[in-house]
Amino acid sequence: MIYLDNASTTKVGTDVVNEMLPYLFEEYGNPGTLYDIGQRAKEAVDKARNQVAAFLGADSPEQIIFTSGGTESNNMVFSAFPTIPRKTHILVSSIEHDSISNIGFPNQNIINVDENGKIIWDDFVQRMNRSIYLASVMFANNEIGTINPIEKIGEYCREHGVLFHSDCVQAAGCIKINVNELCLDFASISSHKIHGPKGVGALYIRNKNLINPKLMWRVGGKHQEFGYRGGTENVPGIVGFGKACEILTGNEMRVGSKITLLKRKMWSKLRSNFSKYGLLEILHDNANSAESFGKILNIRIDGVDAETMVLMLNAKHVCVSAGSACRSHEQQPSRVLKAVGLTDDQARDSIRISLSLFNTEEELNEAADIIADTVYTLKQG
């Protein structure tokens, strides 16, 4: 199998699994208990919190709240704000993850993006006004990989007294994230996007006074996660998440550079193969994703339905996606691709390829051959 859907989930690293194993078998205590096995579990959670804090450049591990993943982290930001006098609106980009764009906030202003998926700066500035109390712009988009100028946005928000959140789920592991340098008040990350286990993520909160835990929907469990998230901690998952962060800390840009180079080589190979078949004119790079830094390549093949392509490639043991995993079963065209100017039909003809350090140049060349051969077969039919 050639796995090219790493924006959806990643393979768990061997060192991560080894770190988790004791907490599945021998050290299985509940960290909320007072006896030794429970206290050792608590120590393991505390260690992981420190590892995640170091990964994000946070000042204190207490700024890290463990969650079930990026979606919950994003939801948490928007669900627990106290009333702020005269500030009633939020500002989000048009290409945010569904966990933000579909949250249904009544006073939500949308920042437009250009054809490459970057926010239009003048539009952002124009929409910033005294009624805005929170802005949210994702660091790297989950469908087209576009990287937004988070530091510039954060500085502007800080200067204007606006809280700033960034969904850093797809940026994590490929781009260095320092929450202080980026002027972030909130940041969301997810374990299973960085070779950690599924079902665990984190929300960075610069100042816990910014969020009121009483506004969160929950009954009981007030003692876990500083009172911000009830329920017994997923100790093995948290331990694995911490280890994944530790492995990547300080290596993000090296990893990102290597993956970016692999992505660009694959794009070049795809172009060469399509040219060989006389099909180069139907192959397109959506939002200039091949040139962007990071793991995501979003391509359009005119007249070839993405879902059909995904299923045909699956039969040949190549895994790609027809868009975000959160929307892969929907019939509606990607709103992200529409936001950057594609038509409904063009969006439906687009597939997402996303890489990781586990991919090799040899398998990417093989995948490029299989994709071109599949398209040629479809066009001949």
End-to-end CA separation in angstroms for the chain: 26
The SS3 assignment for 189 reads strand
Phi, psi (rounded to 5 degrees) for 13: -70, 150
DSSP string, 220-248: S-TTGGGGTS-S---HHHHHHHHHHHHHH
Integer Cα distance of 157 and 145 in angstroms = 23
Q: In what order do the strands lie in the sheet with 283-285?
A: 283-285, 296-301, 350-354
DSSP string, 275-305: HHTT-GGGEEEGGGTTTSSSSEEEEEETT--
CB atoms within 10 A of CB 368: 22
Integer Cα distance of 319 and 3 in angstroms = 5
Catalytic residue among 183, 245, 319, 326: 326
Phi, psi (rounded to 5 degrees) for 337: -65, -35
The SS3 assignment for 205 reads strand
Active site residue 326: yes
Q: Is residue 318 within a helix (H) or strand (E), and if so which, with residue range?
A: strand 318-319
Active site residues: 326
